[in-house]
Amino acid sequence: MSNLSYVTPHADSPWQTYLSQVDRVLPYLGSLAKWGETLKRPKRALIVDVPIELDNGTVRHFEGYRVQHNLSRGPGKGGVRYHPDVTLEEVMALSAWMTIKCAGVGLPYGGAKGGIRVDPKALSMKELERMTRRYTSEIGIIIGPQRDIPAPDVNTNGQIMAWMMDTYSMNTGSTATGVVTGKPIHLGGSLGRVKATGRGVFVTGREAARRINLNLDGARIAVQGMGNVGSSAAELFVQAGAKLVAVQDHTGTLVNPNGFDMADTMEVLKRDGGIANYKNAERIDNEAFWDVDCDILIPAALEGQITAARANRLKAKLVLEGANGPTLPDADDVMHDRGILVVPDVICNAGGVTVSYFEWVQDFSSFFWSEDEINVRLDKIMVDALRHIYETSEKHKITLRTATFAVACERILIAREERGLYP
């Protein structure tokens, strides 16, 4: 395997996971495989220093990143995360998965991603704003409505996007609503965007469950990560008759075989920012989460959570990857051997980027759609994409992950071949 890139990946790193996934798909690409090395090399990686003055008058420096993995099919698209563990290698992998994700659902984008290594909870709102604006100015040389369009990710939200849009607009001299997505509604945001990723997890999960004859009515759901994605997906599954029986987030792990009350759960999450103080559930050890009796597991936290050892312990019949890169390659093999169906991140959580695409289109046309219109369009794109991936999976007798990569990489490399090399 070629490890040539901006960094030498260490074992089990997100970038190494991505490279392993690419190697698995190359045999199914025919003559296009000659362009395969394109997929292993990010087009552009920018590392920036982000100095800000703190409220106490001292100056602090943060390290920021923006990686554009592949722009063959259109401008870059991908989130910005604020997290103390952000690294260049992680952002490279996330940008590459965005390339696959956009191609997998047929969006006219390439993949990009950004981040700052910071604990945003340690900053005041004013400090957070100063950091966001400085970071936006630093990466402003490579972003733009038709170059690279950031969006929210871990620990970022509509307010962060509003600051980014305003900063870019101030620097270019005109209001550019299309430079970011996931904005507040009155700044050119789209209805349905906040819950879009969770909705995509639900829609692909519903279709996958139907194919394996798993009835959602009474199905037991376990969710890791109750942020925007996990909580939205959980709500939709419960509305469909399923029971949320286990939840894990950064504040702990709770189980209730009879099901969580979603209204109470959402209230606790909104009030506390975590699940720990939910009353009607038993607290268990974090590692015991992987032993919980459930039918559907939704990892919706960070990457690298399902190891081979944990995969051997899972009781679930269906795994829906709400997070990016939650499963290590060895764990993929274990779950395949055990007959556990995995709907991979690169299709399962593509609802967010799909509605980001809708937002971008609406910003360009200054014509906005209703939430019902958006959900109907989202559901159709997700269902059609998953159907095509299923057909590819059955044709080649490969997992849904490798099938998604096969569909996406074919589209990316056809674009690369047709565009040719310049000069």
Identify the bridge partners of residue 80 per DSSP, sorted by sequence position: 114, 152
Question: In the predicted model, what is the mean pLDDT of residues 334-360?
Answer: 97
Mean pLDDT of the chain: 95
R_g of the chain computed on alpha carbons:
21
- CA dist., res. 402 & res. 215, Å (int): 26
Q: What are phi and psi of 288, to 5 degrees?
A: -70, -15
Distance of alpha carbon 373 from its chain centroid, rounded? 23
Closest CA to 195 of 300, 104, 283: 300
- CA dist., res. 46 & res. 68, Å (int): 9
Q: What is the pLDDT of residue 5?
A: 46
Per-residue pLDDT band at 3 (split at 50, 70, 90): very low
Q: Is 377 left (phi over 0), alpha (psi -120 to 50) or beta?
A: alpha
Q: What is the DSSP letter of 327?
A: B
Question: In the predicted model, what is the mean pLDDT of residues 24-38?
Answer: 96
DSSP string covering 75-93? SEEEEEEEETT--HHHHHH
- Tell me the two tokens of residue 365: 């046309």
Per-residue pLDDT band at 10 (split at 50, 70, 90): low
- CA dist., res. 299 & res. 230, Å (int): 8
**Given the residues 77, 101, 113, 195, the one annotated as active site:** 113
Q: What is the DSSP letter of 401?
A: H
CB-based contact 243:255 (threshold 8 Å):
no
Laid out side by side, the sheet with 59-70 consists of 44-53, 59-70, 110-117, 76-83, 148-152
- In 10 A of CB 83, how many CB atoms? 18
Q: What is the pLDDT of residue 9?
A: 63
Question: In the predicted model, what is the mean pLDDT of residues 235-239?
Answer: 97
Active site residue 113: yes
- Long-range CB contact pairs, 141-147, < 8 A, 24+: 141/46, 142/44, 142/46, 142/66, 142/68, 143/66, 143/76, 143/168, 143/179, 144/75, 144/168, 144/176, 144/179, 145/75, 145/176, 145/178, 145/179, 145/360, 145/363, 145/364, 146/75, 147/75, 147/76
Per-residue pLDDT band at 12 (split at 50, 70, 90): confident
**Where does 252-408 show beta strands of DSSP type E?**
252-255, 282-284, 296-299, 318-320, 341-343
- CA dist., res. 200 & res. 181, Å (int): 17
CB-based contact 307:11 (threshold 8 Å):
no
Tokens 């703190």 map to which residue? 54
Question: In the predicted model, what is the mean pLDDT of residues 6-26?
Answer: 83
Per-residue pLDDT band at 16 (split at 50, 70, 90): very high
The string of pLDDT tens digits covering residues 266-294 is 999 999 999 999 999 999 999 999 999 99
Going along the chain from its start, the domains and CATH numbers come out as 42-175 (3.40.50.10860), 196-327 (3.40.50.720)
The string of pLDDT tens digits covering residues 110-124 is 999 999 999 999 999
Q: Is the dihedral of CA 230, 67, 134, 182 positive or negative?
A: negative
- CA dist., res. 177 & res. 230, Å (int): 28
The string of pLDDT tens digits covering residues 186-224 is 999 999 998 999 999 999 999 999 999 999 999 999 999
- In 10 A of CB 135, how many CB atoms? 29
Does position 33 have pLDDT exceeding 80, yes or no?
yes
Question: In the predicted model, what is the mean pLDDT of residues 225-252?
Answer: 96
CB-based contact 81:115 (threshold 8 Å):
yes
The string of pLDDT tens digits covering residues 354-412 is 999 999 999 999 999 999 999 999 999 999 999 999 999 999 999 999 999 999 999 99
Question: In the predicted model, what is the mean pLDDT of residues 26-30?
Answer: 96
